[in-house]
Copies of this chain bind each other. A is one copy, B any other.
Amino acid sequence: MIDNPFYSPEAHGPYEYFELGDFELEEGQTLRGAKLAYRTHGELSAAKDNAILITTWFSGTHAIFDEVYVGEGHALDPAKYFIVIVNQIGNGLSTSPHNTDGPFAMGRFPHVRIGDDVRAQEQLLREQFGIERLELVTGGSMGAQQSYEWAVRFPDKVRRAAPMAGTAKNTPHDFLWVQTLMDAITSDPAFRDGYYTDGAEVRLGLARHALLWSVMGFSTEFFRSEAWRGAGFTSLEDFQVGFVEAYFGVMDPNALLCMAWKWQRGDVSRHTDGDLAAALGRITAKVFVIPIDEDMFFPPRDCAAEEALIPDSELRVVNTVGGHLGLFGLEPAYMEQIDRHLGELLAAGG
């Protein structure tokens, strides 16, 4: 166990824990005494028919949704919906390499799959709140992977799904790109096969990992237009060090690797012997597939190909020079688009 102050209510605002117990993973190992960290907004109706699940992305937690996506004036409005944001396994707040005791800590933390997260989330919603059906499941990037997994694995439990900037089956290109992220960290001699004593020791690997995010995470236009000035930075290096490196630099390297391995293998066609059309054809939810136009690794082309395989679906492309990391919602025009799409989806019968 490592005491990393980043993974705390001080850094993320309030959250609660759900005890999963001993949770068997798809890869065969068991997370003993596993926990999910989650945050709720709003009130669950007596009929339990106003629940929305939000799933988290790589490196993300519930906090970004608290701050950017959920609230009065947004489609995800706590005055109307009971909103549950669940931190994915391995993200540092839920059970993760650095907060695990015993032989499976740190460099020996088991491999976790998107399906594990979705099963754990279903258990949380059912056992803690008695929720049997979701009005909406949504999330970005790895959160989209979880949203798709929900819609395919539990078709009767999902009325609507809005996967943003992500795919149902990860692409080979995306696999390679995530591998570069992992290599940036594991190639740092200070990583020591995951047995560092403080994540900050791996700062050079984390910095290289952060630089890769700048190259692939935004867009060429983001940098050409110096859009980072809008966030108060005064030069490219100022932004790279002060924002991108700073963002990742406080995180646990093993946590990032746990999520990265999971991300590489997101694939709903595991339910249908590799037949993606059959898997997506099982979806009964109304689905808005929401790619970002400038996304360099979940390009609209790949998202559109999946959307075409989903019975009751629409493609809703969002425009932002933020690229994939437009998900952070730094641009007001981004959230306006998201709110419009999610609002229309929630207003539609599902």
* A177 CB to nearest B CB, Å: 5
Contact of A214 among B176, B189, B222 (CB under 8 A): B176
Which residues of the other chain, B, contact A174 by a CB distance below 8 angstroms? Answer: 220
Asked if B296 and A172 sit within 8 Å, CB to CB, the answer is no
Task: Flag whether A2 is at the interface (Cβ < 8 A).
Answer: no
Asked if A297 and B176 sit within 8 Å, CB to CB, the answer is no
Which residues of the other chain, B, contact A208 by a CB distance below 8 angstroms? Answer: 180, 183-184, 187
Asked if A172 and B215 sit within 8 Å, CB to CB, the answer is no
Enumerate A207-230 residues with CB–CB distance to B below 8 Å.
208, 211-212, 214-216, 218-224, 226
Asked if B220 and A302 sit within 8 Å, CB to CB, the answer is yes
Kindly state the separation between the CA atoms of A297 and B220 in the bound complex, as whole angstroms: 7
Q: Which 8 A-B pairs have the closest CB atoms?
A: A172-B223, A173-B223, A173-B220, A177-B215, A176-B215, A183-B208, A176-B214, A172-B236
Asked if A171 and B223 sit within 8 Å, CB to CB, the answer is yes
Which residues of the other chain, B, contact A216 by a CB distance below 8 angstroms? Answer: 215-216
Contact A301-B220, Cβ < 8 Å, known A187-B208, A188-B187: yes
Main secondary structure of the interface of A (DSSP, over half): helix
Kindly state the separation between the CA atoms of A175 and B236 in the bound complex, as whole angstroms: 10
Asked if B180 and A224 sit within 8 Å, CB to CB, the answer is no
Which residues of the other chain, B, contact A296 by a CB distance below 8 angstroms? Answer: 296
* A208 CB to nearest B CB, Å: 5
Sample (8) of A-B pairs whose CB atoms are under 8 Å apart: A171-B224, A173-B215, A177-B215, A180-B215, A187-B204, A187-B208, A215-B216, A296-B296
Interface residues as binary, A164-184 with B (CB distance below 8 Å gives 1, 0 otherwise): 000000011111110110011
Asked if B180 and A220 sit within 8 Å, CB to CB, the answer is no
* A298 CB to nearest B CB, Å: 9
Asked if B212 and A180 sit within 8 Å, CB to CB, the answer is yes
Task: Flag whether A240 is at the interface (Cβ < 8 A).
Answer: yes
Closest to A205 in B: B187
Asked if B179 and A211 sit within 8 Å, CB to CB, the answer is yes
Kindly state the separation between the CA atoms of A265 and B216 in the bound complex, as whole angstroms: 20
